[in-house]
Structure 1
Amino acid sequence: MSDAPAEPRGAVYSALSALLDYPSDALVDALPAIDACARDAKGLAKEARAGLARLIGYLGERDLLTLQENYVALFDRGRATSLHLFEHVHGESRDRGQAMVDLLQMYERHGLYLSAHELPDYLPVFLEYLSRLPERDARNLLVETADILQALAAALAKRGSHYGFAIGALLSLAGKGQADAPDAPDDDAHTSVDHRALDADYADEPVRFVGAATPGAAEPVRFYDRRPGRQAAERGEAGRKPAAVKRPGGRTDEAPDEESGEAHER
Structure 2
Amino acid sequence: MRRRRDEMTTRVTYQVAAWMLSYPDEDLVGRLPALRAALEEHPGVDPALGVLVDHLARTPLATLQSEYVELFDLDRKHALHLSYWTDGDTRRRGEVLGRFKSAYRASGWLVDTGGELPDHLSMVLEFAALADLEAGSALLLDFRPGLELLRFALLERGTPYAGAVAAVCATLPGESPADRRAAMAMAGPPAPEAVGLEPYDPRLLPVIGQGAGA
* TM-score normalised by length of structure 2: 0.74
Q: 2:112 & 2:160 partners in 1: Cα distance?
A: 27
Q: Identical aligned pairs, as a percentage? A: 30
Unaligned runs of 5+ in 1: 181-201, 207-225, 239-266
- 1:150 corresponds in structure 2 to 148
Structure 1 residue identity aligned to 2:144: A
User: In the alignment, is residue 69 of structure 1 matched against residue 69 of structure 2?
Assistant: no
Q: Contact 1:84–1:121 at 8 Å: present in 2 too?
A: yes
Deviation readout 1:10-51 (Å, 9 max, x if unpaired): 33311110011111111111111112222343754xxx31x2
Equivalent residue number for residue 162 of structure 1: 160
Map of 2:26 onto structure 1:
25
Instruction: Report the 3-state secondary structure (helix = DSSP H, G, I; strand = E; otherwise coil) of the residue aligned with 2:111.
Output: coil
Specify which structure has the higher proportion of helix: 2
* Closer, same or farther: CA 104–42 of 1 in aligned 2, 3 Å: farther
Q: Would you say the 8 A contact 1:115–1:230 is kept in 2? A: no
Question: Is the contact between residue 13 and residue 168 of structure 2 (CA under 8 Å) also seen in structure 1?
Answer: no
Whether 1:100 and 2:101 are equivalent positions in the alignment is: no
Other-structure match for 2:79: 82
How many residues are treated as equivalent by the alignment?
A: 188
Instruction: Calculate the aligned-residue CA RMSD, in Å.
Output: 3.3
Task: Name the CA distance, whole Å, in 2 between partners of 1:116 and 1:169.
Answer: 26
Q: Using the TM superposition, name which of 5-14 and 28-37 deviates more.
A: 5-14
Equivalent in the alignment of 1:192: none
Q: Which residue is 1:109 aligned to?
A: 106
Partners of 2:164 and 2:10 in 1: CA distance: 19
Contact 1:43 1:172 in 2 (8 A): no
Which protein has the larger Cα radius of gyration, Structure 1 or Structure 2? 1
**Residue 122 of structure 1: how far off its partner (Å):** 0.4
Which whole-Å deviations, capped at 9, do the CAs of 1:193-231 have from their partners, x for residues lacking one?
Answer: xxxxxxxxx89438xxxxxxxxxxxxxxxxxxx545749
- Structural mapping, 1:118-133, within 5 Å: 118-133=116-131
Q: Distance in 1 between matches of 2:208 and 2:40?
A: 30
Shift of 1:116: 4.2
Whole-Å separation in 1 of the counterparts to 2:134 and 2:209: 25
Alpha-carbon distance change, 55 to 119 in structure 1, aligned in 2, over 3 angstroms: same
Q: For the residues of structure 2 that align with 1:107 and 1:71, how far apart are their CA atoms?
A: 27
Task: Could you tell me which runs of 5 or more consecutive residues in structure 2 were left unpaired when the two chains were aligned.
Answer: 179-183, 190-204
Structure 1 residues 160 and 176: alpha-carbon distance in aligned structure 2, compared to 1, 3 A threshold:
farther
C-alpha distance in structure 2 between counterparts of 1:115 and 1:167, whole Å = 21
TM-score, normalised via structure 1 length:
0.61
How far apart in 2 are the matches of 1:99 and 1:23?
A: 28
